[in-house]
């Protein structure tokens, strides 16, 4: 009881569960924080029970006399000191960081037939994307535009200037190196876009070319290594905005964001690394020297043996990965060879929502 | 010349315009920053001309002997000290902040027929969204799903759990207060989503109800007022992650973000304010007290007379606004009245790209 009286009053009142404060139809709050009286305080507390009979405490508020009934279970889980902010699943603390050796023998993968028919298999696969940053679906039908159907199993396609889906194969007049046979080192896609697409899907239709193997690097892990090995370089990369840019005949995109994005508590939340798309930085000479030293250091770290997970996509494979965390790469391949992927972008908030609802259904009704 | 020798060498080399360093087909860089030699330095500089005869300087690099030809015009515009980082158009420095009085008599609006047929009118309208945060298109065909066609004039629709478009009218079993007749105070849409939709469109098909007037508040302006009037409260709101949440039968979204998002230099870049969707904060009691005091203060400021621009949408109006900057509101209306808007989300990076390409075409060839 004492802890209730000493709880921050506006916080406690903002969590009043009564139907006048929260719409029972949708859980949304019905009052404005500004409508609460200035001298708000707990007037009295007495034992109570909830409508379904659970033990609770009733607060009568001063000065307005409003009554709030808080279940004991809620107070036990939420009063200050009982729980820390768990985050929203997007920062480094909510991830399992990895290098190639750490993942040896436990590549997160799922068979398409299981994924489609078994909610538990689907939940495990989607959880891998949140926790490890990716999942590899095997046995996906080798069919034009199938990648869009894969995206729609957990969320919504993010259309961009590259279309609803994009073809990754050698093109005669490519507007992007992705559409040539060139080697591409670990990078973020579309860094010149804000909001950047948070998920990417790559569905392999053909891969008969010499080369063209795939690689993934955990950018959160690499950034945490940089922080441990060279804190000054890490700090520079969280601070200096990098002007990413892309232009073709129909498009002119730019976003000025740091290579390592952090949340207000300083935790790693987003990696944006792409050597191909960095425009001209305008900063004092000292900042430019420091930035380029740090950028090279991080670039070397990303190529360090052991970090990158190498594998080869075969027809029917569909890779789904977190484009705000993992960097993806591919080896060069013969432009005459037959290699064709279809890609699409989507967003990870929708994937996390789908997983949360799946888990809800796991709970016996 | 001296300034060339003293320019940060990795920065200068990273900007080499030669066809070996940059793909002439798409402007993307062809080398890795890690491939440059460690002791990189300007070896010698001599006068040169570009292929099209413009005055330039040729750098021969040590130790690798690479040659880079930099046009004088480029050096004059980009050498350190010649230009500051102009930002990417998304932060407060790139905006024209406003209150209702400041906009009196100059509401950014455009006639649909002009917008569609005249690139200059279209550019002016899109520029208003970047600069002021919104534009009001008048005379848009009153047609089901027309709002999607409006979005496609400048970008791509962002599909969400509310669909490709959403109907704003009274519903029998609403999953959101937007779909009732309730008054809604200034707020950000979908704050529980990350990435949050950066643009919103609201297209009015019918508005014959009593009430249901619209309002917009410049959240960047409001945040800058808070910073001036109560720096401590402002600081708290940039630091404390707020657990926004939304759940219905098919959806469970959450995002933990501060109410005021800043870039690494501390400039305002994103406002996320929505009293209806704030979940339970888990922080020490002292942080909760400070947060709620600051949150109330900011909430009061947003309702301060003079800030909110009030207007009434009439059939054929389509409002396009920046959901990361402006807060939108509506007065209550009689649930029996006939009011029907169709809404959609889109992203502002695509809009900015469309504007940049339009402006390119303004330039005589």
User: A157 and A12 in one domain?
Assistant: no
CA–CA dist A95, A82 (Å, integer): 22
Residue from the list A80, A258, A288 with its beta carbon closest to the beta carbon of B264 = A258
- Nearest by CB to residue A87, choosing from B80, B251, B256, is B256
- The strands making up A339-346's β-sheet, listed across from edge to edge, are A109-111, A134-138, A318-322, A199-207, A339-346, A166-168
Render B143-154 in DSSP notation, one character per residue.
Answer: -TTHHHHHHHTT
Tokens of A230: 């060279």
pLDDT in tens, A316-358: 999 999 999 999 999 988 888 799 999 999 999 999 999 999 9
CATH number of the domain residue B63 falls in: 3.30.2020.30
In this structure, is residue B254 part of a structural domain? yes
Using only C-alpha atoms, what is the Rg of chain B?
25
Q: Splitting chain B (365 residues) into consecutive groups of 10 residues, what average pLDDT does each group show?
A: 83 96 87 95 96 95 97 95 88 97 92 98 98 98 98 98 93 78 92 98 94 96 98 98 94 97 97 96 96 98 96 97 97 87 98 97 54
How many Cβ atoms sit within 10 Å of the Cβ of residue B232? 11
Inside any domain, residue B364: no
Strand A109-111 and strand A309-311: the pairing is: unpaired
Contact with chain A for residue B278, Cβ under 8 A: yes
B6 shares contact with chain A (CB less than 8 Å): yes
Does the reported pTM lie above 0.90? Answer: yes
Specify whether A11 is located in the same domain as A140.
no
Within this chain, do residues A28 and A154 fall inside the same structural domain, yes or no?
Answer: no
Beta carbon pairs, A and B, within 8 Å: 245
Range of the domain at A277: 92-359
Residue B85: inside a domain: no
Q: In sequence order, what are the residues at sequence separation of 6 or more whose Cβ sits closer than 8 angstroms to the Cβ of residue B62?
A: B39, B40, B41, B42, B43
- Chain A window 60-89: which residues touch B at a Cβ cutoff of 8 Å? 78, 80-89
What CATH number has the domain bearing residue A321?
3.60.130.10
Looking at the fold, whether B202 and B259 belong to one and the same domain comes out as: yes
Are residues A120 and A63 part of one domain? no
My answer on whether A109 and A41 are in the same domain is no
Say what the pLDDT of residue A333 is.
87
Query: Average pLDDT, whole number, for chain A?
Result: 94
Compute the C-alpha angle A132/A133/A137, nearest 5°: 95
Cα distance between residue A312 and residue A302, in whole Å:
19
Sheet containing strand A184-187, edge to edge, reads: A184-187, A326-330, A214-218, A309-311
Residue A305 belongs to some domain of the structure: yes
Q: State the smallest CA–CA distance between residue A361 and chain B in angstroms.
A: 11
Which residues of chain A does B325 touch, with a Cβ-Cβ cutoff of 8 Å? none
- Average the pLDDT over A103-119 and give the result: 95
Contact B285 A6 (CB under 8 A): yes
Q: Which of B46, B78, B110 is the last residue of a domain?
A: B78
| Nearest-neighbour CA in chain A from B149: distance (Å) | 15
In this predicted structure, what is the pLDDT of residue B363?
Answer: 53
Lowest mean pLDDT, pick from A71-85, A110-124, A220-234:
A71-85
The domain tally of chain B equals: 2
Q: Which member of A25, A160, A247 has the closest CB to residue B27?
A: A247
Structural domain ending residue among the three candidates B28, B54, B78: B78
Residue B86 lies inside a defined structural domain of this protein: no
Chain A contacts of B90, Cβ < 8 Å? 194, 255-256
A313 in Cβ contact with A341 (< 8 Å)? yes
- Other beta carbons within 10 Å of B289: 17
Q: For residues A253 and A247, what is the distance between their CA atoms, to the nearest angstrom? A: 6
Pairing of strands B242-248, B251-257: antiparallel
In a shared domain, residues A330 and A195: yes
- What ipTM does the predicted assembly reach? 0.95
Of B78, B113, B146, the residue at which a domain comes to its end is B78
Interface test with B, best of A194, A260, A348 (most B CBs within 10 A): A194
Is A208 among the domain residues? yes
Nearest to B357 among A80, A240, A252 (CB): A252
Q: Are residues B58 and B181 in the same domain?
A: no
pLDDT digit string (tens) for A171-197? 877 777 777 888 899 999 999 999 999
Residues B97 and B62 in one domain: no
Q: Does any domain span residue A282?
A: yes
Query: Which of A14-28, A290-304, B39-53 shows the lowest per-residue confidence on average (mean pLDDT)?
Result: A14-28
pLDDT given at position B24: 83
Please tell me the distance in Å from A105's CA to the nearest CA on chain B: 31
B365 is a domain residue: no
| Contact at CB, A276 and B28, closer than 8 angstroms | yes
Question: Within this chain, do residues A74 and A119 fall inside the same structural domain, yes or no?
Answer: no
Q: What is the CA radius of gyration of chain A?
A: 25
Check whether residue B157 and residue B229 sit in a common domain: yes
Q: Which of A3, A4, A7, A8 to mutate to test the interface with B (most CBs of B within 10 A)?
A: A8
Place of tokens 């330095």: B41
Phi, psi (rounded to 5 degrees) for B333: -140, 160
- Neighboring chain B residues of A278 at a CB cutoff of 8 Å: 14, 29
Based on the fold, state whether residues B297 and B179 are members of the same structural domain: yes
Confidence (pLDDT) at B362:
58
């Amino acid at each position: 009881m004492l802890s209730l009286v000493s709880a921050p009053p506006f916080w406690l009142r903002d969590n009043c569960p009564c139907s006048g404060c929260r719409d029972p139809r949708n859980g949304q709050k019905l009052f404005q924080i500004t409508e609460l009286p200035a001298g708000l305080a707990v007037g009295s507390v007495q034992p109570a029970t909830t409508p379904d009979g659970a033990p609770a405490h009733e607060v009568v508020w001063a000065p307005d006399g409003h009554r709030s009934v808080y279940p004991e279970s809620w107070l036990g889980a939420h009063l200050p000191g009982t729980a820390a902010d768990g985050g929203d699943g997007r920062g480094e603390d909510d991830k399992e960081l990895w290098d190639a050796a750490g993942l040896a023998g436990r590549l997160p993968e799922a068979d398409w037939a299981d994924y489609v028919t078994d909610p538990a298999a689907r939940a495990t696969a989607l959880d891998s994307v949140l926790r490890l940053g990716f999942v590899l679906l095997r046995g996906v039908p080798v069919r034009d535009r199938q990648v869009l159907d894969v995206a729609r199993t957990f969320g919504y396609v993010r259309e961009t200037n590259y279309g609803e889906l994009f073809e990754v194969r050698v093109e005669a007049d490519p507007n992007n190196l992705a559409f040539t046979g060139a080697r591409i080192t670990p990078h973020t896609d579309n860094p010149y876009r804000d909001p950047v697409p948070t998920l990417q899907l790559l569905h392999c239709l053909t891969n008969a070319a010499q080369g063209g193997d795939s690689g993934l690097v955990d950018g959160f892990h690499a950034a945490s290594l940089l922080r441990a090995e060279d804190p000054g370089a890490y700090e520079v990369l969280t601070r200096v905005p990098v002007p990413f840019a892309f232009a073709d005949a129909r498009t002119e995109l730019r976003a000025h964001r740091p290579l390592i994005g952090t949340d207000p508590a300083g935790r790693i939340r987003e990696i944006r690394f792409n050597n191909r798309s960095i425009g001209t930085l305008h900063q004092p000479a000292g900042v430019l020297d420091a930035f380029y030293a740090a950028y090279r250091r991080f670039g070397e770290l990303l190529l360090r043996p052991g970090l990158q997970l190498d594998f080869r996509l075969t027809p029917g494979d569909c890779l789904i990965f977190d484009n705000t965390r993992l960097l993806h790469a591919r080896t060069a391949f013969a432009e005459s060879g037959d290699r064709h992927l279809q890609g699409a972008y989507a967003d990870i908030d929708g994937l996390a929502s789908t997983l949360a609802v799946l888990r809800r259904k796991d709970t016996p009704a």
